Amino acid sequence: MDFLTEGVLARQPNEMVHFLLHTCVLDELTASLCDALTTGGGPEVGAGATLRELERTNLFVVPLDEERLAYRYHHLFAQYLRAELGRREPEFVPEQHRRAWRWYRDNGLTGRAVAHAQASGDFEVAAELVATAWMPMSERGHAETVRSWIAGFDDAQIEAHPPLAIAAAWVVAIAGEAERAVRFAGAAQRGSWQGPMPDGTASFESALAIMSSSFGLGGLSGMRAAAERAVDLEPATSSWRPLALLLLGISRTLQGDFVDARDVLDEVVELAPDQTPIMAFSLAFLAAGALQEGDEEQAWLHAQRSHAIVGQPRLRNYTPSVVTYALVANLLSRRGDLERAAVAIERANELLPRLIEAYWCVMIETRIRLATALGALGRRDEAATRLEEAAALLASHEDAGVLPQWHAEAVMSLHGTGAGKPERLSDARPADSARARARADAVQNRAQAAPLAEHHQDSPPVDLSEARRIRRRRGGRSHPR
C-alpha cells in the first residue's frame, strides 16, 4: 500500500490521476460509463482510449472480455484509490456514486443502480428502483437478488417508504422471514402514497389489497374480499391483474366454491406469462379444484403442467413451488406411482420450512396433501406429524374455509376413524394438541436454519433415478411392501 501511495499516482499525469480517482467507485469499467463519471480530466481522449492505455502500461486494470470493452481495477488498487479519493476529495465520493446510478438506471441495470444509489445516500431513488423492479425479478425466479437489494436498507428506511415496504414484505415472506414480513406489511398499511405506484399497480389501495389477500389477512373471507377489490381496481391491461385473479381463485377454492374458482383460474392461465410462478400456482389450484370435484384425470393434467414449470432450475427452489410438489405427491400416490411420489415429497419437504405464517392457508393445505401421500407410502408417523402441524395452524385460524374438512378427511384416512368425524387432529387425539402446537412452532423456528438442497441435474423434476436414491437413503423402502 505504501508503494502504491508513493509511487503509482505520483508518476501519472494529472489527467490520468483524475480518471483513476473518479472511476474507482466502479466495479466494472466501460468507456461509456467512465465517460459519465469523468469531466474535465481527459475527456478529449475519451475513456475507451484511457482504459486501453492503462492496460498497455500495466496499471492494475484487468480486461473482462476478449474485445477489451470492459475492465476492472485490481482489487487492492481499487481499495487504495477509493481511500485516496475519500482523503483528497471526500465531497466527490457521493457524487461519483450518483453519476453511476444515473448511468446504470438509464441503461436498465437495476441492481447496480440500486447499489450506487444506496452508496450515494439517495435512498428515495434506491427505494423507487427496488419498488419498481421487485415483482418482475421475482417472477423470473430472482427473489433472492431482490432480497439482497433490500438488505442495503435499514428497517426504518423501508418502513418510511410504503411501496418499498410492500415489496419488502413480499420478498422477506418468500424468504421465510416471518417477523420482518409482518412488520413491513403493517408499516405499509399504516402509510400513504400519492401518485403512481412504482410497481405498476393501479393504486396504493390496490397494492395493499393484493398484499393483504396474499397473506390471508382477515381469514379466507378477508382474503377473498381483498382479492375482489384488487380485481375491481386493476384494469384488464394491468400486469398485476393475473395475480389479483389468482388470489381470488385460491380463496374461492379454499372456500369450496370450485366452479367459480375454476372460471377465475382459467382466466389467469389465459393472462399470465407462461413458465412463471403465477402460471404454476394457477394450474396447481385448478388441479386442486378438479380433484375435489372428482375429476382426477383433469387434476393430473393441470398438475403435470404446473410441475413442468416449477421444475425449471430457476424455480425449483422457489418457496411457492412447494404447493405444486405437495399436490403432485398426492396425485402420484393416488395413482400408485409411489416412487415418484417419494421424490415429490422430498422436494416439498425441502421447501416446507420456508413457508411462514404469512402464508398460513398454504401451510395448512400443503401439509394435508403431504400427509395423504405419506400415508400411502406407509410413512404414518411423518403423516401424523404433518397433520398435527396443520391442526395447530387451524386452531389459530377460524375462518379457514374447507381446510378443516380436508384435514378431518385426511385424519380419518390415516387413522381409519370414521366415527365422530373430527375436524382437527387435536379433536381426535386431545393429548396431542400441545405437541401439535410445539411441532408447528418448531417448523417456524426452522425456517431460517434449514438450507435448501441444491438440485443441479437437468432431468425433469421427478425421475426414477432420484426415487431410487431417496429409497436407498431411507433404508431401502419408499413404500410398504
**Is the predicted pLDDT of residue 474 greater than 50, yes or no?**
no
Q: What is the pLDDT of residue 427?
A: 40
**Is the predicted pLDDT of residue 476 greater than 60, yes or no?**
no
92 C-beta neighbours (distance < 10 Å), count: 17
Domain boundary among 21, 56, 90: 90
Domain boundary among 59, 90, 121: 90
Query: What is the pLDDT of the chain when averaged over all its residues?
Result: 84
Residue 362 domain flag? yes
d(CA 383, CA 394): 16
Looking at residue 26, which CATH number applies to its domain?
Answer: 1.10.10.10
Residue 219 domain flag? no
Looking at residue 278, what DSSP letter applies? H
Looking at residue 333, which CATH number applies to its domain?
Answer: 1.25.40
Domain range enclosing 9: 2-90
Residue 298 domain flag? yes
The closest of 42, 45, 3 to 23, measured between CA atoms, is: 42
Q: Which long-range contacts (CB under 8 A, 24 or more apart) does 285-290 make?
A: 285/246, 285/249, 285/250, 285/253, 285/261, 285/323, 286/262, 287/327, 287/331, 288/253, 288/327, 288/365, 289/253, 289/258, 289/261, 289/262, 289/265, 290/262
Residue 239 domain flag? no
Q: What is the pLDDT of residue 464?
A: 42
**Is the predicted pLDDT of residue 72 greater than 60, yes or no?**
yes
Q: What is the pLDDT of residue 471?
A: 45
Residue 252 domain flag? no
304-343 pLDDT, tens digit each? 999 999 998 888 778 889 999 999 999 999 999 999 999 9
Backbone angles phi, psi at 338, to 5 degrees: -75, -30
Domain count, the chain: 2
87-128 pLDDT, tens digit each? 999 999 999 999 999 999 999 999 999 999 999 999 999 999
Residue 356 domain flag? yes
Tell me the mean pLDDT in the region 196-205. Answer: 94
pLDDT class of 178 with cuts at 50, 70, 90: confident
Domain boundary among 90, 110, 143: 90
Q: What is the pLDDT of residue 458?
A: 35
Most confident range (mean pLDDT) of 43-57, 180-194, 446-460 is 180-194
Residue 325 domain flag? yes
Task: Look up the pTM and report it.
Answer: 0.76
254-281 pLDDT, tens digit each? 999 999 999 999 999 999 988 888 999 9
Residue 186 domain flag? no
Q: What is the pLDDT of residue 4?
A: 52
